[in-house]
Amino acid sequence: MRKRAAWLKKQPLCQDCMAEGVVNADDLEVDHVIPLFKGGKDNESNYRTRCSRHHKLKTAQDMGHVIRPEIGVDGWPIE
Query: Interface with Zn ion by CB under 5 A: which residues?
Result: 14, 16-17, 24, 51, 54
- In the bound state with Zn ion, the residue whose beta carbon lies nearer, of 32 and 54, is 54
Q: Cβ neighbours of residue 75 under 8 Å, at least 6 residues apart?
A: none
Taking the complex as a whole, how short is the minimal distance between the CB of residue 69 and Zn ion, in angstroms? 13
Tell me which amino acid residue 17 is. Answer: C
- In the bound state with Zn ion, the residue whose beta carbon lies nearer, of 1 and 19, is 19
Taking the complex as a whole, how short is the minimal distance between the CB of residue 72 and Zn ion, in angstroms? 18
- In the bound state with Zn ion, the residue whose beta carbon lies nearer, of 22 and 36, is 22
Taken in order 34, 19, 49, 56, the sign of the CA dihedral is negative
